[in-house]
Amino acid sequence: MKYNFARTPNRRDPNVLNKWTWYPPDVLPMWVADMDFPAPKPILDGLRKVVAQGVLGYELPSNALKETVAKRMERLYRWKVEPEAVTAVTGIVSGFSVAARAFCTAKRGVLVQTPVYNEFHELKNNVGIPQLNAPLVKRVNGNILTYEIDWDIFEKQAKKAGMFLLCNPHNPLGIIFSRKDLRRMAEICIENDVLIVSDEIHSELLLGDSKFIPMAKLSSEIANHTITLVSPSKTFNVPGLFCGFAIIPNQELRERYNREVEHLRLHVSSLGLHAARIAFSGQCDDWLAELRSHLTSNRDFLVEYVTRYMPQVRTTIPDATYLGWLDFTQTPIEDSPYDFFLKEARVALSDGKIFGAEGKGHVRINFGTSRKILQQGLDRMRRALRTIQ
């Protein structure tokens, strides 16, 4: 190992509000989706260079940056993207909020597959549009959870939607949807004239031998109906720099989308633009390869730990992301495992309820940390569980 994923710098600065300072100091934070490791050196060196030069003036997304994003799509997926199809946005939440404002109406809302990333649930109020849920169906095998699409519900809800906000890989479930499922979702959306917005922010955090295919890569027809959202923020752990990209091959959609970006004056910070260019250039890919093996071994450790030491608790085996999903619905703490672990274990997890009603009795755990911290968190949870058994 060339890189050290045991090193987790201290982020407990009382003047800063982050996941390490949000709760009292005795609480171990395993919630917000950022990792505890420093970003890769080429990014940090690049940012140091800009800061050392001293002028932090206005900057716009350059052609060189758009070409870098396009080239990365080609290199990773053999997906040919024209640089002009790339628009820089102030993060992926802004990116899909813009799409909802541009393409949904009070009559045609946003279709989502619950339980799903909490920010997806904010669109209905923020944009004033209906939210159409197509809940994923939970299957249990021993203590392992998997989820499937209910196609009847998906199709029924698609008929009322203006846009389908796909989360692939899926947060919090860690699913990478198969080519077959993606194709069927796309067919239903195209038949019903529903725009596909594919949030692929976690697409490079692949675990084990998982493979990822972008929705828009499936066919030119699908690409023509799809806005793809990508970003270096999760992969290279620079989410605080708020820089992401919308890839929109269809010129008409792109013009509508870009108009909304301009109306909202969504301008990305210069440091975010610099970091993104370095992150997507390939200079950090050996770091990423090692990160993936570290995260894969953390995932395996988590699943084995839960299986061995937490009877009645169920877990997913995520294909991607650094997010685990634990099901306590068969235990005495089914009402609120989040509250129980915060109070009794001093571990802050993400409450399953924020991902939708189906998340009640579940929590999301962030394993994007050192093995030591992951084990410490699990040990605390295990001890707390013992007190109620």
Ligand X SMILES: Cc1ncc(COP(=O)(O)O)c(C=O)c1O
Q: Which is nearer to ligand X, 331 or 350 (CB)?
A: 350
199 forms part of the interface with ligand X (CB under 6 A): yes
30 forms part of the interface with ligand X (CB under 6 A): no
What's the Rg (C-alpha) of the chain? 21
Across the strands, what pairs with 244?
89
167 forms part of the interface with ligand X (CB under 6 A): yes
201 forms part of the interface with ligand X (CB under 6 A): yes
Task: Give the containing element (helix H, strand E) for 328.
Answer: none
Q: Which is nearer to ligand X, 91 or 356 (CB)?
A: 91
Of the residues 109, 239, 249, 324, which one makes contact with ligand X according to CB under 6 A:
239
Q: Which is nearer to ligand X, 203 or 370 (CB)?
A: 203
Q: Which of 85-93, 260-268, 350-358, 375-383 is the region at the interface with ligand X (rule: CB under 6 A)?
A: 85-93
167/165 Cα distance (integer angstroms): 7
183/311 Cα distance (integer angstroms): 38
- Report which of 192, 140, 142, 148 is spatially closest to residue 170, judged by C-alpha positions: 148
204/343 Cα distance (integer angstroms): 34
Smallest distance, Å, CB 172 to ligand X? 8
Smallest distance, Å, CB 207 to ligand X? 15
Q: Which of 66-74, 88-96, 203-211, 353-361 is the region at the interface with ligand X (rule: CB under 6 A)?
A: 88-96
Of the residues 87, 97, 171, 331, which one makes contact with ligand X according to CB under 6 A:
171
93 forms part of the interface with ligand X (CB under 6 A): yes
β-strand pairing of 350-351 with 362-366: antiparallel
Q: How many residues bind ligand X (CB under 6 A)?
A: 13
Phi then psi for residue 141, to 5 deg, are -130, 105
- Report which of 144, 157, 211 is spatially closest to residue 185, judged by C-alpha positions: 157
Nearest position to ligand X, beta carbon? 91
Q: Is the separation of the CB atoms in 280 and 292 below 8 Å?
A: no
Smallest distance, Å, CB 323 to ligand X? 8
Q: Which is nearer to ligand X, 124 or 159 (CB)?
A: 124
Q: Which is nearer to ligand X, 117 or 305 (CB)?
A: 117
Phi then psi for residue 89, to 5 deg, are -130, 160
16/384 Cα distance (integer angstroms): 30
356 forms part of the interface with ligand X (CB under 6 A): no
- Report which of 13, 11, 62, 8 is spatially closest to residue 36, judged by C-alpha positions: 8
231 forms part of the interface with ligand X (CB under 6 A): yes
244 forms part of the interface with ligand X (CB under 6 A): yes
Q: Which of 49-57, 91-99, 127-135, 293-301 is the region at the interface with ligand X (rule: CB under 6 A)?
A: 91-99
117 forms part of the interface with ligand X (CB under 6 A): yes
136/151 Cα distance (integer angstroms): 10
Phi then psi for residue 225, to 5 deg, are -110, 10
Smallest distance, Å, CB 383 to ligand X? 29
Q: Is the separation of the CB atoms in 274 and 50 below 8 Å?
A: yes
Smallest distance, Å, CB 116 to ligand X? 8
Smallest distance, Å, CB 138 to ligand X? 19
Residues that bind ligand X (CB under 6 A): 33, 91-93, 117, 167, 171, 199, 201, 231, 233, 239, 244
